[in-house]
Amino acid sequence: MTAKLESHVPAAPPVSAEAPAPTRPDAAKQEARRAHHEALRLRWKAIEEAGGTDAWVRQQLVAKGVAAEEVDFESLSDKQKAAWKEKKKAEATERRAQKRLAWEAWKATHIHHLGVGVHWDEAGGPDKFDVAGREERAKANGLPEGLDSVEALAKALGISVSRLRWFSFHREVDTGTHYQTWEIPKRDGGKRTLTAPKRELKAVQRWVLANVVERLPVHGAAHGFVAGRSILTNALAHQGADVVVKVDMKDFFPSVTWPRVKGLLRKGGLPENLATLLALLSTEAPREVVRFRGETLYVAKGPRALPQGAPTSPALTNALCLRLDKRLSALSKRLGFTYTRYADDLTFSWRRAKKSRQKELPLADAPVALLLARVKGVLEAEGFTLHPDKTRVQRKGSRQRVTGLVVNEAPEGVPGARVPRDVVRRLRAAIHNREQGKPGPTGETLEQLKGLAAFLHMTDAEKGRAFLRRLEALEKRQTA
């Protein structure tokens, strides 16, 4: 077999010097870090109870016996003056030390600053950009209650405030990165860049996904990364159509910048400061790795946007596209089309109306040109761009594919949306070659073949299950 099969399951990122695989911190170090943070939190609490930093520092000086009493300096003898000066020096030294401790406690419990170009208000509270009835909106969307401060958010995420600031802070030039980046091949021969968060940030993003992002409203036309919907449900909506029109959005994830994510979260009911933090946690700037004076630097080469590989990104785009989906659904209905969206793939299908005792309308009556012109306008109005090279019009009589599945009208007993026969043939040949002891093409793995078999199983369970059993036998043979 010479053709290389493309997996529908993304490969794991390669381990390299520039993007090392994350290592699990030692449990003792984690416990020490938690204990240190708790001590800082309690220290700041004591500072607040004392009435502020100056009052707390004064208490510490008195408790340590280094607070110099105010005296009539002129009435002292030379020996007393010298002793009082020494005590004042000791007091000044201790005061500086205590102020450093107070500053350390403040930094551990406050954000203060999130980088150049990021507006941050520590106090938060209502402002003119809050949606009407913000708290009611948050409750209606099922957003978590009690997230009324930075410390409350950090506690919900299971990290310290300083860690939250570290993950959220934006730098144009950084000495490290919270992400791994790698490339996978695309069907057209190009490469797709994936950027995935490292272990600890990924855990934070998964909390944000489950407790905030997935609770935001999504349109019924969205089929990607939505519970109960899939590639299959997206394709079945266009089964047996006379005309299928496929449109792609250009630079879909990079076009969703962090201010757009922040606006979405605010619209969902979050206050300004929490929306800022969650938007920064969910985005990253594309970066170039450079060496400068012996140091490795990660330099931003574009605005901070959704990384293609973060767990929060697909669901954020679904929520962000709510108005886009509404507009395209209404447009499609007016023109007689059915509309669905799977991530950045937009699909429109048209069925000609059949009139009794009259000939069927010709396929040329499908208003494709009008549809495409209107879609382009809607996309631009919503902050997206139609990809000029990826628009396809598939008419009845030619093979119609939607998210990788063939949706042409099929005979009875054949799945309405099915994996193309050439893909099944290549998969069968690849498994046969492996069973005969022949190596696969460079880069082809059993995991990729299993991904394709699982893809087939989605539409043809019996055939897919047979392929999966053969692949499991090959795996056992390899490990024996």
Long-range contacts of 90-94, Cβ-Cβ distance < 8 Å, separation of 24 or more: 90/66, 91/61, 91/66, 91/67, 94/60, 94/61, 94/64, 94/66
Residue 394: both structure tokens together: 């598939």
Q: What tens digit of pLDDT does each residue of 300-314 get?
A: 999 999 999 999 999
For residues 442 and 417, is the Cβ–Cβ distance under 8 A? no
Residue 469: both structure tokens together: 């059993």
Residue 432: both structure tokens together: 């046969």
Residue 114: both structure tokens together: 């999130």
pLDDT of 25 reads 54
pLDDT of 70 reads 80
Percent of the residues in the chain that have a pLDDT greater than 70, as a whole number: 91
- Give the mean pLDDT of 350-378: 78
- Between the alpha carbon of residue 449 and those of residues 187, 380, 440, 444, the distances in Å are 16, 39, 10, 8
361 pLDDT band, cuts 50/70/90, is low
413 pLDDT band, cuts 50/70/90, is low
DSSP 128-172: TTSPTTHHHHHHHTTPPS---SHHHHHHHHTS-HHHHHHHH---S
Mean pLDDT of the residues in the chain: 89
- Give the mean pLDDT of 141-145: 94
Q: What tens digit of pLDDT does each residue of 49-86 get?
A: 999 999 999 999 999 988 888 877 778 888 888 888 88
pLDDT of 31 reads 85
Q: What tens digit of pLDDT does each residue of 100-129 get?
A: 999 999 988 999 899 999 999 887 788 888
**Closest-CA residue to 475 (of 429, 426, 423, 435):** 435
pLDDT of residue 478 exceeding 90, the answer is no
For residues 21 and 67, is the Cβ–Cβ distance under 8 A? no
pLDDT of 360 reads 53
Q: What tens digit of pLDDT does each residue of 172-211 get?
A: 999 999 999 988 877 666 788 899 999 999 999 999 999 9
SS3 (DSSP) at 385? coil
Q: What tens digit of pLDDT does each residue of 76-96 get?
A: 888 888 888 888 899 999 999
pLDDT of residue 10 exceeding 60, the answer is no
SS3 (DSSP) at 183? strand
SS3 (DSSP) at 50? helix
- Between the alpha carbon of residue 100 and those of residues 22, 49, 67, 90, 275, the distances in Å are 33, 18, 17, 16, 31
pLDDT of residue 298 exceeding 90, the answer is yes
